[in-house]
Structure 1
Amino acid sequence: MDDVWDTKVWDEVKKFFPDDNNGSRIILTTRQSNVAMYANDESPSHQMSLLSPEASWDLLRKTVFGQKDCPSALEKIGRIIAQNCKGLPLAVVVIGGLLSKAHDNKQEDWEHIASNINSIIMRDDSDQLEKILYLSYNYLPHHLRACFLYMGIFPEDKEISVSQLIKLWVAEGFVKPVTPKSFEEVAEDYFKDLNDRSLIQVQRRSRNGRVKTCIIHDMLRELCIKEAQEEKFIQVINRHIRLSPQGRNNQRRMSIHSNGLPYLEEFDASYIRSLLYFYNNSLVESQLSSLPMRCRLLKVLDALTIHFREFPIGIVELIHLKYLGFSYIGRCKFPASISKLLNLQTLIIFGDSYLYLPRSIWEMPKLRNFLLKKGVFDHPFPTQVLGKDLVVLQNLQTLCGTINFRCTKKVFQIMPNLKKLGVSYIHDERINWSSYEFDNFIYLHQLETLKFQLISMDAPPWHINPAFPPSLKKLTLKGFQIPWERMTIVGSLPNLEVLKLKEFAFEGSLWEPKEGEFTKLKFLLIHLSTLKHWKVNQEHFPQLQHLRLSFCSYLEAIPFEIGEINTLEMLELYECSGSAVESAMLIQEEQQSMGNDGLRVRVISSYEYYHSR
């Protein structure tokens, strides 16, 4: 049963397939995972993968030449054509059918096709693939269509941050509230639905299994762009696309790639609601200064690829903005008038130096996500900020990239629903560590992710006493040199799934976990440590799936009891002592001798290590 779209179809026909225990089988193909699960929820469905470059070439060669050999002069460019189909079998067949009609098989014709594969496949006289892809789009429920078409804003082959994508969907108004879920949780459901329909591909996952990045196949991206332009939903501008004069008006969203930048002046900007840059050009600074006059209704401005020398002050007049992202170089002064943006939901500011932030930041009640690289509040935050009647930031869920943030109880009370926090500290001898009040993390009752790091210090802060909320699921600690004896502050967290201990987060030669700790921990990283002896048994980490050790040159051996953890699937080592590596190999051998082939041990190369961080 090929290409089944609805569970009702299976309900209507399955009664004609009685189970007579005669060994017969039914193969059902579908683009929607819920249909596959509905047909048989007792075993996992087989997820079809894209073709490898070699398999793509083999299919293309057979489509064009049948049983004959491919001329040697065409094989190199033919392999390029096959690879440019990005593993999609139907694309290979469509292109192969086109090439098979060419009787003379000139090399220059093949080279032209290799350079223009997407436009050739999607053109009117080669619409077999387009019609098949459009079936997936036409079956989308209405609330997912805008989210899918929005994927066309990103450049070809770009690895897309799912976190950024969700923030954009929310700012664009595509996500409808569903009580009791937050907008972000509903958006994650939308993303999962698109993924289950095979319209996007997961590229990378975080350590707790959540999707970090995704990509969209070139053919589907072309569909998005074509449909979005016809509906005046999005206009992508690059070196290949120039609009006719009548197409330059009524454009709601514009995504500017490469050389398309100068053409923005040709549009009637009064209609533009979203402006996204994926190209660095110094002309943008002067161009954006006129935005308040030309794009008064702008809701989304993503200029993270543009490196500003100073804050484009005119932006504060864009009072409808819900999403603002930009980067700067050098010293950038952030204006107090940013508080005019009362509708702002997401504010992303990346730069190469410290950014001093005004207290007026906390006067924007709709702020949901505040992401920085090196943000410093230029005032005694706890007292002076709360000296005036500030709104409680009920919507704030993410605050990352702050330096020397004062963790007072009152400050955390104005952000009661914070889920993700990233704070770094550069110790100043004039300030006592206790003034940062690290024990107040416990008042963040909704906090799920915390990145807590010390960038540099004169002396280790042995006396710091952090206290973490029980809601925490993911914790990264760096540089604090807390004695291993105090690991209970982490091990006792009942919901902790991911723990990353970086650059002497804990200090000492012996770590002996206590009974009843780390009950839900799935991933553990120990990076750069003086740990020498580690005493554990399988009950200490009952759900551990992945253990990674890097730069643990003092560690004499990995405890054999680690191998007895039933859930452990991966043990990775990089730049560890020879005896630790040897013990890891012995653990694997012992487990294999006992019939446990599920545990993999990897000694990681430098390339693998730096590309998996």
Structure 2
Amino acid sequence: MAEAAILAALKVIGDVLASKLVKLTVSQTSNIGLTFANLKESINNISRELRVMKGYLNEIDDEDSESHEAWVKEVQNSANYIEDIVSEFAYIVGNKKFDGKLFHVRTMAKKPKVFIKLKRIASELTEVEKSLNHLATLKERWVTKRNTTIRKNLESNNAAVSAHFIDEDNIVGIEENRLVITNCVICEKPQLSVISVWGMGGVGKTTLVTNVFRREKKNFDCSAWVSISQSYSTENILRNIIFEIDFVPRNFDCEPNLPIDTTNMDCRGLKERLRKLLKEMKYLIVLDDMWNPNSFEEIRDTLIDNHRGSRIVITSRNAVVANLSLKINRLELKALSQKESWDLFCRKAFHLENNNECPPPLQKWATDIVSKCAGLPLALVSLGGVFSLIENTEPEWERVCGQLSWELAKNPNLDSLKNILTLSFKYLPRYLKNCFLYCCIFPEDSLLARNRLVRLWIAEGFIEQKGRSTLEEVAEGYLQELIQRSMLQIVERNTWGRVKKIRMHDTLREVATNLCRKENFRLLQEDCEIVDFSNSVRRLSIVKLRAEISHEVYLPRLRTFMSVDPNVPSSLLRSFIWDKSRYLAVLNLDGQKIKKVTDAIGDLFNLRYLGLRDTEVKFLPKSIEKLTNLQTLDLMISKIQKLPDGITKLKKLRHLFAQVRVDPTYRIFQALAGISLPKGIFYLKDLQTLQALESNAIVVRELGNLTQLRSFRILNVKENHSAELCRSLSNMKSLSYLSIHASNENEHLQLEGLENLQQLQKLRLFGRLNEEILKSPLFESSGKPIQIRLAWSQLQKDPLPSLSHLNNLTWLTLQKAFKDPKLNFRAEWFPKLKFLSLMQMPNLVQVEMEQGTMVILEKIQLWELEQLKDIPKGIEHLINLKRMVCKNMPADFGKLASGVHQLFHFKCQVIPLEADTT
């Protein structure tokens, strides 16, 4: 992972060398013969060294030897050091202004501190050059490059070999999937079919396909099983297929399985030989653990379709590889159920007990282990094997459970599990490795919000600009890659299918946490009895602080600090964060019991992400204006009511969250309150998120300058602001989320003139509306999926007929929206609606749903509908309904709602009162 550190350093260097300010500074200082006159040359020399090192590291395998690993670690530390030094230099020369002019030589006479800093940086860069030369000498003297490709290929194939010898009695939960794959294999269609089985490492792909392969290969003229490594060449794949082909004698005229010498064959010769072998054969070939679709594309023309019913089965951890087959021949392997997991674990851990039963005293520990495995068969089998070797006593099980992380790292009986999961990480593209490891700094079982994770990755510098795409769009592409490679699991999607929340599999996280230490990540959690730090720590996350941390801790290279534990003493934060970690890029203190941010925060020149959500902080210091690299400022649900004027100097600010949530249920009109922002906020051209802004005449007029906004919420809008507001909003061509709140529930929102919002996907309107607005451009049919919330609209008529043309509507909430006593959902209306919420409509007496309406609806919320005494008529037509939440409904309604279970054959969950958790 030294490559990631080198990339970060090269990125900073590239930005510095391209800066006009830096060029000006260097040329001016050169004229007066200062010690840093050759600064640019030093930086160029360092850049060249790093590029060569990066090229070398790209050519070799990881962890070649202990000496090589130690050398790579030193390279990583040097690259981190370079990144810090150059970042500080860029800050000094890029942000110092005097008498209205940019930094120049006169500054040094007026500001001796600046001179001293630049002199120190020049000296440090000179030392870095010497250090890099020394690293080159060390490598030649002590580090021997050894070829480990063969060893790693063997490691990657161990699971496949083992799978062939698994006793069927030890296979659990594959019956249904085995039938699916078997049916695809024995299908009578004569055309060649590609069948794919995919899922995360250890989920049982190889075991499943092995089971089918052994049963069905007798029905083919020939068969072959080949394990693919990411480092395999096309020639190797072809050679192995030829070598592994097993002919059935009854279908072969000459002596079967004669060895074929392929040693001197090139790729063309290998292809010709394989085509000749398969030409008249009905064949079954398994390509196990394929990482890249290109591996198959390069041999596809060789695996001929001779219309004899041949089959190719591919297993992969990558969804992109799985897409090589038709959807009907594609199977994603999921984790085992809780019952299946328990059964498999007990078969391994208690194979000497009667009926493989878990002894009662060990139930608690066994349950915890099974839960941690989260349905991953390889983890269940591996850990079951470890626990089968220890004494079946509660103290012994408690001891091993308490050191499970150590066991995963050190116990040789878990090598197969560790190798399989580590292999998934090793085969990640280099630009994804830090993104993946970063997910480990959150607590176990955390649900990671897509938007927040993307902003953090950007702040960390993991994301590179690609063409015209925004950094956020590139980061979302990285997230999709990690999901497709089965490294992250989707927990929740929004109503149009976009990823909303993800998580890491617990066992994969345990393995990744061990990798984090090598990459200078530190995670402090409940099992940390001793807190050990070194000066090289780059990222620190406090999940649960048990051990004492000395106030004398010095973390000079810290780039990220995040604390989930709200009980971290504020004195501790002050001692080693504010005062001693000046290179911080991410400071996330969400939920901390802090009341003040010190002036020292202004010295964190590199800070890009500042999270103070849900804290007791009441104001920001004036020094906040010095954070000119800040990209995200999250003050949501803090006590801050006004931002300092200096916030307008933060030209790189992309996301500003600054609102107070008075009522999280939005049951009262004034559920949100914004904060006062200085006038100059409208000149922050890079702003993409602004939540929430208090409206006034100046605000609505200047708002149109923020043309890059994608997410925007404005509060306290008055009717006489509407026309100007519409003109300003129409300049925001990229706006996808818009929330407008009137100043009170009787204030009209005159938004008929709002147009040109072609990217809009989420619309929230709180305030009185005229009936005509539903026919305005704002509610025109869009090709994009959309979500709409109308609250306190006070429309006279049922709005559904006017909204029914919105065929892409996926989410609809109506809250005090109309006065009509009836609400009718007609056939063919809202074909993509998945979520419907009806709230606080005192006049609503009847809801009717015709057959054919809302055909994919999954969830209904019915809240405080005091006159609605019967369940919606025709609700049984909603065949995909999974959940109905009833909150503060009339007493009689609850009795009737319980019958929805029977209507849906118990497939729909009915949740009364306050029990909903989604």
From 492, 496, 503, the equivalent of 1:215 is 503
- Are residue 30 (structure 1) and residue 316 (structure 2) matched? yes
Q: Which residue of 2 aligns with 1:120?
A: 407
Q: Which has the larger radius of gyration?
A: 2
Asked if 1 retains the 8 angstrom alpha-carbon contact of 2:774 and 2:802, the reply is: no
Q: Deviations over 1:112-163 (max 9, x none)?
A: 3444444433334222211111110111111111111111211122222221
SS across alignment from 2:316:
coil
- For 1:533, give the aligned amino acid: K
SS across alignment from 2:444:
coil
Q: Which residue of 2 aligns with 1:250?
A: 536
Residue 478 (structure 1) shift: 4.9
From 342, 352, 357, the equivalent of 2:628 is 342
Alignment of 1:519-538 (within 5 A): 519-529=807-817, 530-534=819-823, 537=826
Alpha-carbon distance in 2 for matches of 1:607, 1:64: 43
From 705, 708, 723, the equivalent of 1:417 is 708
Q: Deviations over 1:281-317 (max 9, x none)?
A: 3622563266454122221111112132223222122
Residue 167 (structure 1) shift: 0.7
SS across alignment from 1:199:
coil
Distance 1:343-1:330 versus aligned 2 partners, 3 A rule: closer
Alignment of 1:460-475 (within 5 A): 460-462=746-748, 464-465=750-751, 467=754, 469-475=756-762
- When structure 1 is superposed on structure 2, of 573-582 and 201-210 the one drifting more is 573-582
Alpha-carbon distance in 2 for matches of 1:536, 1:12: 53
Asked if 2 retains the 8 angstrom alpha-carbon contact of 1:483 and 1:508, the reply is: no
Alpha-carbon distance in 1 for matches of 2:509, 2:358: 33
Q: Which residue of 1 aligns with 2:596?
A: 310
- When structure 1 is superposed on structure 2, of 149-158 and 563-572 the one drifting more is 563-572
SS across alignment from 1:204:
strand
Alpha-carbon distance in 1 for matches of 2:869, 2:309: 52
- For 1:477, give the aligned amino acid: R
Distance 1:395-1:240 versus aligned 2 partners, 3 A rule: same
SS across alignment from 2:590:
strand
From 349, 355, 358, the equivalent of 1:64 is 349
Normalising to structure 1: TM-score of the pair? 0.85
Alpha-carbon distance in 2 for matches of 1:175, 1:522: 31
Q: Which residue of 2 aligns with 1:202?
A: 490
Q: Which residue of 1 aligns with 2:642?
A: 356
Asked if 1 retains the 8 angstrom alpha-carbon contact of 2:608 and 2:631, the reply is: yes
SS across alignment from 1:451:
strand
Alpha-carbon distance in 2 for matches of 1:88, 1:407: 58
Asked if 2 retains the 8 angstrom alpha-carbon contact of 1:511 and 1:535, the reply is: no
Asked if 1 retains the 8 angstrom alpha-carbon contact of 2:541 and 2:562, the reply is: yes
Going by fraction, where is helix more abundant, 1 or 2?
Answer: 2
Alpha-carbon distance in 1 for matches of 2:575, 2:756: 44
Q: Which residue of 2 aligns with 1:94?
A: 382
Distance 1:231-1:310 versus aligned 2 partners, 3 A rule: closer
From 108, 130, 140, the equivalent of 2:428 is 140
- For 1:583, give the aligned amino acid: G
Distance 1:185-1:16 versus aligned 2 partners, 3 A rule: same
Q: Which residue of 1 aligns with 2:873?
A: 582
Distance 1:244-1:300 versus aligned 2 partners, 3 A rule: closer
SS across alignment from 2:336:
coil
- For 1:393, give the aligned amino acid: L
Distance 1:391-1:342 versus aligned 2 partners, 3 A rule: farther
Alpha-carbon distance in 1 for matches of 2:913, 2:402: 31
From 440, 443, 460, the equivalent of 1:172 is 460
Residue 49 (structure 1) shift: 1.6
Asked if 2 retains the 8 angstrom alpha-carbon contact of 1:572 and 1:604, the reply is: no
Distance 1:75-1:109 versus aligned 2 partners, 3 A rule: closer
Alpha-carbon distance in 2 for matches of 1:480, 1:601: 37
Distance 1:494-1:336 versus aligned 2 partners, 3 A rule: farther
Distance 1:604-1:496 versus aligned 2 partners, 3 A rule: farther
Residue 190 (structure 1) shift: 0.3
From 332, 336, 346, the equivalent of 2:618 is 332
Residue 55 (structure 1) shift: 1.0
Distance 1:135-1:206 versus aligned 2 partners, 3 A rule: same
Alpha-carbon distance in 1 for matches of 2:712, 2:575: 32
Q: CA RMSD in A?
A: 3.5
Q: Deviations over 1:391-416 (max 9, x none)?
A: 84232111113344667454223311
Alpha-carbon distance in 2 for matches of 1:100, 1:261: 32
From 461, 464, 469, the equivalent of 1:181 is 469
- For 2:296, give the aligned amino acid: W
- When structure 1 is superposed on structure 2, of 401-410 and 483-492 the one drifting more is 401-410
Q: Which residue of 2 aligns with 1:594?
A: none
Q: Which residue of 2 aligns with 1:235?
A: 522
Alpha-carbon distance in 2 for matches of 1:463, 1:448: 20
Unaligned 5+ residue runs, structure 2?
Answer: 1-285, 661-672, 881-902
Distance 1:150-1:515 versus aligned 2 partners, 3 A rule: closer
Alpha-carbon distance in 1 for matches of 2:686, 2:360: 62
Asked if 1 retains the 8 angstrom alpha-carbon contact of 2:640 and 2:675, the reply is: no
Asked if 1 retains the 8 angstrom alpha-carbon contact of 2:591 and 2:615, the reply is: no
Q: Which residue of 2 aligns with 1:396?
A: 687
Q: Which residue of 1 aligns with 2:450?
A: 162
Alpha-carbon distance in 1 for matches of 2:397, 2:741: 54
Asked if 1 retains the 8 angstrom alpha-carbon contact of 2:552 and 2:576, the reply is: no
Distance 1:376-1:514 versus aligned 2 partners, 3 A rule: closer
Q: Deviations over 1:210-261 (max 9, x none)?
A: 22221112222222222121232x122235336686x522111211222168
Distance 1:21-1:549 versus aligned 2 partners, 3 A rule: farther
- Are residue 54 (structure 1) and residue 346 (structure 2) matched? no
Unaligned 5+ residue runs, structure 1?
Answer: 590-596
Q: Which residue of 2 aligns with 1:369?
A: 655
- Are residue 549 (structure 1) and residue 827 (structure 2) matched? no
Asked if 1 retains the 8 angstrom alpha-carbon contact of 2:641 and 2:674, the reply is: yes
Asked if 1 retains the 8 angstrom alpha-carbon contact of 2:464 and 2:474, the reply is: yes
Asked if 1 retains the 8 angstrom alpha-carbon contact of 2:454 and 2:476, the reply is: yes
From 3, 10, 28, the equivalent of 2:296 is 10
SS across alignment from 1:276:
strand
Residue 514 (structure 1) shift: 4.1
- For 2:838, give the aligned amino acid: L
Residue 98 (structure 1) shift: 1.4
State the identity %. Answer: 24
Distance 1:63-1:124 versus aligned 2 partners, 3 A rule: closer
Q: Which residue of 2 aligns with 1:610?
A: 916
- For 1:123, give the aligned amino acid: K
Distance 1:336-1:111 versus aligned 2 partners, 3 A rule: closer
- For 1:57, give the aligned amino acid: W
Alpha-carbon distance in 2 for matches of 1:5, 1:411: 52
Q: Which residue of 2 aligns with 1:273?
A: 559
Distance 1:519-1:336 versus aligned 2 partners, 3 A rule: farther
